[in-house]
Structure 1
Amino acid sequence: MDKFAFHPFLIAIFPIIFLFAYNADKVEMSVVLVPIAISLVFTILLFFCLKIILKDDKKRGIIISVFLILFFSYGHLVALASILSIDKLNINKYFLLLITEVIFLFLAAFFITRTSKKLSNVTFFLNVLSIALIVMPSAEIIKYELKVKNFPEKQIITSVNKSQQSRPSDLIDTEIESIVLPDIYYIILDGYARADILEEFYQYDNSEFIEWLEKKGFYVAEKSRPNYPQTYQSLSSSLNLKYINYLADIVGKNSDDRSYFGELIENNEVQRFLKNNGYIFVTFTSAFAGTDKNPNADIYMTYKMNLNEFNNVLISTTPLGFFGGKNLQYSLHRNKILYAFDNIPTITQIKEPTFTFSHIMAPHPPFVFDSQGNEIQPDRLFTTNDAGFPGTKKEYKNNYVNQLIYSNQRTKEMIEKIIANSKNPLVIILQSDHGPAMQLEWEKPSKEAIRERTSILNAYFFSDKAQNALYENITPVNTFRIIFNLYFQADYEILEDKIYFTTWNRLNLW
Structure 2
Amino acid sequence: MAQEPDKLSRLAAWLLPLLAAGYSVINFLETNITEARPADAGALLGGMLLYALGLFVLLRLLRLTIYKAALLSTLILICSLYGGMPYLLIRYMMRVDLPYVVFVGLLVMLVGGIGILLAKSRASFKLPVLFLAIAAAVGLGSATANVTLYEMGRPNAADLAAPLGVTLETPKAKRNIYYIILDRYAAARTLAADYDFDNGDFTSFLRKSGFYVADNSVSNYPKTAQSISSSLNMDYHHFTADQIPKDKSDWLPFHERLRHNRVTALLKGAGYKYIHMGSWWPATASSPMADENFQTTLLSQFALKYLQRSLFDPLLHMFYDKQAQNSLAPDQCNRVPRKFAHLTEVAKGPKPVFVFAHFLIPHDPFVFDKTGHCLTREESAGRSLIENYLGQLQYGNQMIRALVDQLLTAPGPKPIIIIQADEGPFPVRYRRDEAGFQWKQATDQEFRQKMRILNAYYFPETDPDIFYDSITPVNSFRLLFNRYFGAELPLLADRNYAFPNAANRFDFFDVTDIVR
Query: What is the TM-score normalised by the length of structure 2?
Result: 0.83
Separation of aligned partners in 1, 2:344 and 2:92: 45
Question: In 2, are the aligned partners of 1:286 and 1:359 still within 8 Å (CA)?
Answer: yes
Shift of the alpha carbon at 1:497? 1.5
For residues 330 and 89 of structure 1, do their structure 2 counterparts lie closer, same or farther at Cα, with a shift above 3 Å needed?
Answer: closer
Q: Which amino acid is 1:2 matched to?
A: S
**Gaps spanning 5+ residues in structure 2: where?**
1-7, 318-323, 510-516
Residue 437 (1) aligns with residue 444 (2): no
For residues 139 and 93 of structure 1, do their structure 2 counterparts lie closer, same or farther at Cα, with a shift above 3 Å needed?
Answer: farther
Question: In 2, are the aligned partners of 1:94 and 1:322 still within 8 Å (CA)?
Answer: no
Q: Which residue among 275, 299, 303 is the counterpart of 1:311?
A: 303
Report the secondary structure of 1:357's partner residue: strand
Shift of the alpha carbon at 1:71? 3.8
Question: In 2, are the aligned partners of 1:484 and 1:490 still within 8 Å (CA)?
Answer: yes
- Structure 2 match to 1:211: 204
Q: Which amino acid is 1:157 matched to?
A: L
Structure-to-structure mapping, 1:50-129, within 5 angstroms: 50-51=59-60, 55-74=64-83, 91-92=96-97, 105=111, 108-109=114-115, 112-129=118-135
For residues 2 and 26 of structure 1, do their structure 2 counterparts lie closer, same or farther at Cα, with a shift above 3 Å needed?
Answer: same
Shift of the alpha carbon at 1:473? 1.4
For residues 266 and 370 of structure 1, do their structure 2 counterparts lie closer, same or farther at Cα, with a shift above 3 Å needed?
Answer: same
Separation of aligned partners in 1, 2:249 and 2:87: 26
Structure-to-structure mapping, 1:92-491, within 5 angstroms: 92=97, 105=111, 108-109=114-115, 112-148=118-154, 153-158=156-161, 161-162=162-163, 165=164, 167-169=165-167, 176-177=169-170, 179-246=172-239, 250-251=243-244, 255-303=248-296, 305-321=297-313, 327=325, 330-378=329-377, 395-437=384-426, 439=428, 440-441=430-431, 442=434, 443-444=436-437, 446-447=442-443, 448-491=445-488
For residues 193 and 307 of structure 1, do their structure 2 counterparts lie closer, same or farther at Cα, with a shift above 3 Å needed?
Answer: farther
Separation of aligned partners in 2, 1:63 and 1:230: 45
Shift of the alpha carbon at 1:432? 0.7
Report the secondary structure of 1:264's partner residue: helix
Separation of aligned partners in 1, 2:191 and 2:446: 13
- Structure 2 match to 1:35: 44
**Gaps spanning 5+ residues in structure 1: where?**
381-389
Question: In 2, are the aligned partners of 1:245 and 1:509 still within 8 Å (CA)?
Answer: no
Q: Which amino acid is 2:490 matched to?
A: E
Question: In 2, are the aligned partners of 1:78 and 1:94 still within 8 Å (CA)?
Answer: no
Report the secondary structure of 1:373's partner residue: coil
Question: In 2, are the aligned partners of 1:348 and 1:423 still within 8 Å (CA)?
Answer: no
Separation of aligned partners in 1, 2:484 and 2:199: 31
Separation of aligned partners in 2, 1:233 and 1:317: 29
Question: In 2, are the aligned partners of 1:24 and 1:141 still within 8 Å (CA)?
Answer: yes
Question: In 2, are the aligned partners of 1:224 and 1:473 still within 8 Å (CA)?
Answer: yes
Separation of aligned partners in 1, 2:116 and 2:427: 49
Shift of the alpha carbon at 1:476? 0.6
Report the secondary structure of 1:348's partner residue: coil
Separation of aligned partners in 1, 2:300 and 2:389: 23
Cα-to-partner distance string for 1:6-55 (whole Å, 9 max, x where unaligned): 20122123211221233345335443344334433433333343346552
Q: Which amino acid is 2:72 matched to?
A: I
- Structure 2 match to 1:387: none
Shift of the alpha carbon at 1:69? 3.0
Cα-to-partner distance string for 1:362-382 (whole Å, 9 max, x where unaligned): 1211222221112223259xx
Separation of aligned partners in 2, 1:254 and 1:509: 15
For residues 154 and 332 of structure 1, do their structure 2 counterparts lie closer, same or farther at Cα, with a shift above 3 Å needed?
Answer: closer
For residues 237 and 124 of structure 1, do their structure 2 counterparts lie closer, same or farther at Cα, with a shift above 3 Å needed?
Answer: same
Separation of aligned partners in 2, 1:473 and 1:223: 5
Q: Which amino acid is 2:122 matched to?
A: S
Compute the RMSD of aligned alpha carbons.
3.2
Q: Which amino acid is 1:312 matched to?
A: L
For residues 437 and 408 of structure 1, do their structure 2 counterparts lie closer, same or farther at Cα, with a shift above 3 Å needed?
Answer: same
Shift of the alpha carbon at 1:244? 0.9
Q: Which residue among 20, 35, 40 is the counterpart of 1:26?
A: 35
Cα-to-partner distance string for 1:31-86 (whole Å, 9 max, x where unaligned): 3344334433433333343346552221121122233334444456578x69xxx9
Instruction: Kindly tell me the number of residue pairs found equivalent between the two proteins.
Output: 482
Cα-to-partner distance string for 1:174-204 (whole Å, 9 max, x where unaligned): xx53622332111111111111211222222
Separation of aligned partners in 2, 1:272 and 1:88: 47
Report the secondary structure of 1:224's partner residue: coil
Q: Which amino acid is 1:131 matched to?
A: A
Shift of the alpha carbon at 1:217? 0.6
For residues 295 and 156 of structure 1, do their structure 2 counterparts lie closer, same or farther at Cα, with a shift above 3 Å needed?
Answer: closer
Separation of aligned partners in 2, 1:90 and 1:426: 50
Q: Which amino acid is 2:45 matched to?
A: I
Query: What is the TM-score normalised by the length of structure 1?
Result: 0.84
Between the aligned residues of both structures, percent identity stands at 26
Cα-to-partner distance string for 1:211-270 (whole Å, 9 max, x where unaligned): 000000101011111111111111110000111142677316861222211211111111
Q: Which amino acid is 1:63 matched to?
A: L
Separation of aligned partners in 2, 1:129 and 1:376: 43
Q: Which amino acid is 1:460 matched to?
A: Y
- Structure 2 match to 1:385: none
Segment drifting more, 225-234 vs 200-209: 200-209
Question: In 1, are the aligned partners of 2:64 and 2:119 still within 8 Å (CA)?
Answer: no
Separation of aligned partners in 2, 1:181 and 1:51: 63
Report the secondary structure of 1:290's partner residue: helix
Q: Which amino acid is 1:12 matched to?
A: A
Shift of the alpha carbon at 1:316? 2.5
Q: Which amino acid is 2:227 matched to?
A: S
